[in-house]
Amino acid sequence: MSSIKKEAERCLKCKKAMCSAHCPVSTPVPQVMDLFLNGEIKKAGELLFANNPLSAVTSIICPHEKNCTGHCVLGRKGAPVEFYRVEEYISRFYLETIEIPEIKKNGIKVAVTGAGPAGITMALLLLSEGYDVTLFEAEDDIGGVLRYGIPPFRLPRDLLDLYKDIMLRLGVHFRPNTRVGSNIMIEDLFPDGYKAVFVSTGTGRPRKLGLIGETLGHVHFAIDYLKSPYAFKLGRRLVVIGAGNVAIDVARTAIRSSHSFVTILHYMGKDDMTANHDEVEMAEIDGVEFIHNAQAVRIMENAVRYVYVKRTVNEDGSLSFEEDYTQVADIPADSVIIAIGQGPSADIVTAGVKLTQRGLFDVNEWGETDTPGVFAAGDIVSGPKTVVDAVAFTKRVFSRMEEYLENN
């Protein structure tokens, strides 16, 4: 606790706080720090929760170097304030001690499909305003990517259990193992009295490389592996193909669960990786090997063939990558896991909901679809993005949903 307090005391509480300005949900950092240092931790927690219901989660998994920490003025000449450490402590304490207020129910029924980051956020916002919420989830518990895509050593599962308990105490009707789009369709919901439907089913279909060898028995997709890593027998040498946080999570999980020797292979340079820099550093500490600037071109029974990639910085600052087939190499592999992103599943599609060319829900700036009463947010709208981005857009959608529900 003392180190958390010392970190809070370092904050300058800037009038024009750049940390807040560069946070997707504009977290009021100076005000939170003031309340915390004045001994008002519950009020600090209330402020964080009201601004971002998932602050206990985002404080752990946000790309802090791109948001608050990366824009702290103290970071220009020294060490920036690590606000997320203070935020994590306050937010966890708030969830563990929250007193659920008496909320007058308004009798309006709303369906939320998908209990991932956007779905949890929307459910909490609706429940707090007295709506009657049914939360449909295809898996057996809440969390979505938070539970089934992020390893527990990064995000403790009991934190998600706290959120579930709060929603249940607020009166949510939770329907696990129920996939809207298969046995229940969106259009089935309105005759049962739901005034609006919020879709936040995420992007659960893994993208493939399109390489020869991708269907072999020792090749797996990251999203499948992370859901139940102990179901997989990977052998001693694992090659992970990808450059994002999911690839890092796979690699670190494999080292822990199967004690494999893990290599991450990707076409980007080290500094171009989309994964959080802190996570890349932790993977290196864990013993993960990296082969940068390398493009997989074929998967074989016991190896992955790759070519080197030339990285070029263009005049406009963008990057381009060119494969050099004169430099070919093989890396031994007992197993291969592909971690190059996810796309939307097809089973949520219903007549009247327009899709983009990428198969995502086509919505306006307020998350409205072409079907009256159907709103959407999260990865099913934007493709895979950060949790805090999902929260920010969901809050925006909620404001428009309230207008719709009041007028219909």
- Please give the helix or strand (H or E) that residue 313 lies within, else none: strand 303-313
Name the average pLDDT for the chain.
Answer: 93
Rounded to a whole number of angstroms, the distance between the first and last alpha carbons of the chain is: 49
Nearest to 203 by CA among 146, 252, 261, 145: 145
Q: What is the pTM of this model?
A: 0.93
Whole-number pLDDT of residue 280: 94
Mean pLDDT (whole number) for 102-112:
95
Residue 344, pLDDT > 80, answer no
* Cα–Cα distance for residue pair 327/306, rounded to 1 Å: 8
Per-residue pLDDT of 10-47, as tens digits, reads 999 999 999 999 999 999 999 999 999 999 999 999 99
Whole-number pLDDT of residue 134: 98
Strand 237-241, strand 219-221: pairing: unpaired
User: Structure tokens of 172?
Assistant: 């949510």
What is the percent of the chain where pLDDT is above 70? 98
Whole-number pLDDT of residue 312: 83
Residue 367, pLDDT > 80, answer yes
Strand 319-332: give its sheet, edge to edge. 294-299, 303-313, 319-332
Q: Which domains, from first to last, does the chain contain? A: 2-97 (1.10.1060.10), 109-204+344-407 (3.50.50.60), 206-338 (3.50.50.60)
Q: Could you tell me how far CA 115 lies from the centroid of its own chain?
A: 12
